[in-house]
Homo-oligomer: A and B are copies of this chain.
Amino acid sequence: MNPLEIPEIVIRRLPLYLRTLNLMAAQGQTVTSSQEIGERLGISSTQIRKDLSYFGEFGKQGTGYNIEYLREQLRQILQVSQRWKVALIGAGDLGRAVLRYSGFEEGGFEITAVFDKDEQKIGRQIGKLKVLDIAKLHEVIREQGICIAIIAVPASEAQEVADALVNAGIKAILSYAPLPLRLPSNVQVHYIDPVIGLQSMTYYLSPEQI
């Protein structure tokens, strides 16, 4: 099955399935079904089976899915069996929170370099890492062979940082800055903006709750 033919919306759901399987495995569960995964995620079981069928046949009729096996298959599909090195740009409050979040490691990512342009922050130790001068971005990224970056700088500086990242060879960016970045089409990008999420919920709140 050609990867180009698999809908992006399917790819977007796979990490949710993987996360669910991780939780089940952590609780000692060994077998599950599309129905159980679906109930946890609020997705129909048919959808889950169809999504998985793009990549192969991972289940057993009458029994369901072996959790360990399906986990490993999903990890391979998503290419998170090995750990990816990630560069973090911005050592402010957000950057520090990102750095201390353990979820990245479990998900297959390791932040191996932190950058900031503020001289006050450069050189400071955060966890295992020392904050580096953003002037060394290109050099360090090339040296370490990093191809994923997280942008945690103010909106006003995000585009500039993104340009530098692309220039350094970064191929995937997760941006916390609330604006769309102008990037070459061969660079992946995902955004995280909590306000967008809140605003689409307030639409549904009844007016008397204001």
Out of B79, B180, B197, name the residue touching A205 (CB < 8 Å). B79
* Complex Cα spacing A111 to B179, Å: 22
Interface members, chain A 68-114 (any B CB < 8 Å): 77-80, 82, 84, 86, 92-94, 96-98, 100-101, 103-104, 106-109
| B100 & A93 in contact (Cβ 8 Å cutoff) | yes
> Is A192 in contact with B194, judged by CB distance below 8 angstroms?
yes
* A104 to B191 alpha-carbon distance, docked (Å): 16
Q: How far is the CB of A200 from chain B (nearest CB, A)?
A: 5
B174 touching A198, Cβ below 8 Å? yes
Interface residues on A, range: 35 or more
Q: Which residues of B contact A50 (CB under 8 A)?
A: none
Q: Which residues of A in the span 8-23 have a Cβ within 8 Å of any Cβ on B?
A: 11-12, 14-16, 18-20, 23
Q: Is A199 an interface residue (CB 8 A)?
A: yes
With known contacts A40-B180, A93-B100, A79–B194 Cβ distance under 8 A: no
A44 at interface, CB cutoff 8 A: no
- 16 A-B pairs within 8 Å (CB atoms) are namely A14-B199, A14-B203, A15-B195, A20-B180, A77-B203, A78-B202, A79-B207, A93-B93, A94-B101, A103-B194, A107-B195, A108-B202, A148-B201, A171-B209, A174-B197, A189-B201
Residues of A within 8 A of B (CB): 3, 11-12, 14-16, 18-20, 23, 40-42, 77-80, 82, 84, 86, 92-94, 96-98, 100-101, 103-104, 106-109, 147-148, 150, 171-172, 174, 178-180, 188-205, 207, 209-210
